[in-house]
Amino acid sequence: LQTYKRIPKYYCVADPITALAGLIIPRGWWNPGFSITWNGKETLYTVRSSEVVLVVPVFFGDALLMTSSPEVCKEILNDPTRWSKPERIMGLDVMGKNVIASNPPVWRTHRKIAAPAFDDQAFSDVWEVITTAYNQMMASPDWKSTDVHYVPAFNNITTRIALLAIVKCGFNIPMEWNQDQDDKSGSFDEIAVTLPNSSLRHIAAASEALQRILREKIITKKKELSLELELDGAVSKANKNLFGRFVAASQREGDRGLDASEIMGNLFVFLLAGHDTTAHSMVLTLALLAGQPEDQERVHRHIKSVIGDADPTYDDYSSLAPVQHCLYEAIRLFPAGWITMRLSGMDEVWSAPQLTPTGEDVVVQKGTTVMVDFIGACRNPRHFPSPHDFVPLRWAPSNDPDAPPPPSMDTFLGFSSGPRTCLGKKFASVEAVCFLTLLLRDWKVGVKLAPGESMQAWRKRVLQPELSTALKTGDVPLLLTRRLKR
């Protein structure tokens, strides 16, 4: 009641169930039942004619503000010192402090170590890993022997592809598409079983298996790096990835550097952040393209015009922009990182278009928790006309002088914004563009409708993501038909 009295009247008070009741339970993200459905999320703001919504808990917990205003979101995200991450989302530090679950100055140290690992060499490695995995997949009897292939859960395929990319390129640890999946002990396949199911109650289980695997690998890596430095005076190219960088930084700085738990903490969150997110974005892109054959044909023709029947190389990446547009449009509709929270370090006044129905500014008191709502911001109709439609072409510059310009990358918050913007943005884009290019070159992606079902009904039935630590799809069934080579 005290909180409620402080709230100016013009804020909308949201229905606590629609408005993410799970998050206001004091156990926060660790609430084992934490799982939020998609229902109503797209229209949360438009039905209230307000880009700020206040969530008032009915029984206990603090009120919190949610916003879909890209202008306000950017203002918040641009200043991680004034707007810190609240304790309640620090649960991701189960294995140790890390770049995601920390605030400045600790966050700055971790980010500085990790950022250089995302360079052109890493992206070119990602490209190669994905191409090899795709070709191994196509050579398997399942795929080779048929021209029409029904996959009941295509998300399992994209999940393995994404795991391969981060494990091989981020950690330089051997893993193959067609590795014997029966022998999982001590390998990343062991945790792959739990990781895709990354609701937080599964994370604890995954982290135990991962700790065991990583502890051994860190010891081996330390010995390897010491030997390299002794013999060559420098760390080899093979160790200039995330794993090598975190271990090398801890050795270099000695007691002042990262300890073993911080190395593990970072490797764990990179696996998590770099795995599920990209996997779901790739399968959602395919599902949306399956529902819009004209867009799929246009992209297929473009791919053929760039690479013909050959495998693409990393040099082709920038020529494959239409594929990237489909990915961005899928992320815009279903942002894998769907929300983040910040705590105001001082009193603030927000001033932006359509923040409130009356057009007034919003006063935010120090200590208020704000949910930066990436779903709301990515579907904000001021920036994205027809916000709920899949329109890959909106991202393409048009020759028509009357056409609206493509959305500015500055207001697209699918990968967040500011100094804490997603570190893996290009990694994810390169990985997804490579995989989608190969698949769309060779296969027409469609769906199997239930009797009497329309495409719209299929989309409504299948594309109902669950909002957990990341936005995730359920099983996405796809029907693939081989294209004839010309």
Strands (E), 393-477: 443-446, 466-467, 471-472
81, 345 Cβ separation under 8 angstroms: yes
**Interface positions, 242-271, toward ligand HEM (CB under 6 A):** 270
Distance CA 45, CA 377 (A): 10
Per CB under 6 A, does 44 bind ligand HEM? Answer: no
**Interface positions, 351-390, toward ligand HEM (CB under 6 A):** 374
- Minimum CB separation of residue 440 from ligand HEM in Å reads 17
Q: What is the DSSP letter of 25?
A: S
Per CB under 6 A, does 473 bind ligand HEM? Answer: no
- Contacts of residue 437, Cβ cutoff 8 Å, sequence gap at least 6: 303, 307, 312, 316, 320, 323
Per CB under 6 A, does 439 bind ligand HEM? Answer: no
Q: Is 470 helix (H, G, I), strand (E, B) or coil?
A: coil
Per CB under 6 A, does 95 bind ligand HEM? Answer: no
Distance CA 218, CA 163 (A): 19
Contact region for ligand HEM (CB under 6 A) — 141-149, 247-255, 335-343, 439-447? Answer: 335-343
Q: Which is nearer to ligand HEM, 112 or 482 (CB)?
A: 112
Q: Which is nearer to ligand HEM, 331 or 478 (CB)?
A: 331
- Which residue(s) pair with 427 in the sheet? none
Per CB under 6 A, does 331 bind ligand HEM? Answer: yes
Q: Does the bond joining 152 to the residue before it have cis omega, within 30 degrees of 0? A: no
Per CB under 6 A, does 428 bind ligand HEM? Answer: yes
Q: Is 84 helix (H, G, I), strand (E, B) or coil?
A: strand
Per CB under 6 A, does 241 bind ligand HEM? Answer: no
Per CB under 6 A, does 423 bind ligand HEM? Answer: yes
Q: Which is nearer to ligand HEM, 170 or 376 (CB)?
A: 170
Q: Is 415 helix (H, G, I), strand (E, B) or coil?
A: coil
Q: Which is nearer to ligand HEM, 11 or 383 (CB)?
A: 383
The correct pick among 154, 171, 177, 427 for binding ligand HEM (CB under 6 A) is 427
The correct pick among 415, 435, 443, 458 for binding ligand HEM (CB under 6 A) is 415
Q: Write the binding mask 165 to 194 for ligand HEM: x where contact by CB under 6 A, - elsewhere.
A: -x---x------------------------
Per CB under 6 A, does 336 bind ligand HEM? Answer: yes
The pair of three-digit structure tokens given for residue 458, joined into one six-digit string: 């299929």
Q: Which is nearer to ligand HEM, 293 or 419 (CB)?
A: 419
Per CB under 6 A, does 195 bind ligand HEM? Answer: no
Q: Write the binding mask 274 to 313 for ligand HEM: x where contact by CB under 6 A, - elsewhere.
A: x--xx--x--------------------------------
Q: What is the DSSP letter of 406?
A: P
- Minimum CB separation of residue 469 from ligand HEM in Å reads 10
First to last CA, the chain: 70
Place of tokens 């160790």: 239
The correct pick among 25, 151, 422, 455 for binding ligand HEM (CB under 6 A) is 422
Closest CA to 155 of 413, 478, 380, 374: 478
- Minimum CB separation of residue 342 from ligand HEM in Å reads 8
- Give, to the nearest 10 degrees, the angle between helix 260-273 and helix 106-114: 70
# chain residues binding ligand HEM, by CB under 6 A: 26
- Minimum CB separation of residue 428 from ligand HEM in Å reads 4
Per CB under 6 A, does 57 bind ligand HEM? Answer: no
The correct pick among 159, 340, 380, 437 for binding ligand HEM (CB under 6 A) is 340
Do strands 369-373 and 64-67 pair parallel, antiparallel, or not at all (unpaired)? parallel
Other C-beta atoms lying within 10 Å of the C-beta of residue 455: 14
Closest CA to 195 of 304, 81, 272, 287: 272
The correct pick among 160, 217, 245, 420 for binding ligand HEM (CB under 6 A) is 420
Q: Is 169 known as a binding-site position?
A: no
Q: What H or E segment, with its residue span, contains residue 162?
A: helix 154-165
Per CB under 6 A, does 424 bind ligand HEM? Answer: yes
- The CB-nearest residue to ligand HEM is 424
Other C-beta atoms lying within 10 Å of the C-beta of residue 56: 19
Mind giving me the DSSP string for 227-244?
A: HHHHHHSS--GGG-SHHH
Per CB under 6 A, does 467 bind ligand HEM? Answer: no
Distance CA 155, CA 197 (A): 12
Contact region for ligand HEM (CB under 6 A) — 303-311, 334-342, 346-354, 382-390? Answer: 334-342
- Minimum CB separation of residue 54 from ligand HEM in Å reads 21
Closest CA to 216 of 249, 171, 257: 171
Q: Which is nearer to ligand HEM, 24 or 56 (CB)?
A: 24
- Contacts of residue 44, Cβ cutoff 8 Å, sequence gap at least 6: 14, 18, 19, 53, 66, 68, 373, 376
Per CB under 6 A, does 334 bind ligand HEM? Answer: no
**Interface positions, 1-20, toward ligand HEM (CB under 6 A):** none
Label each residue of 336-370 as H, E or C: CCCEEEEEECCCEEECCCCCCCCCCCEEECCCCEE
Annotated binding site: 422
- Residues at the interface with ligand HEM (CB under 6 A): 99-100, 111, 166, 170, 270, 273-274, 277-278, 281, 331, 335-337, 340, 374, 414-416, 420, 422-424, 427-428
Annotated binding site for heme: 422
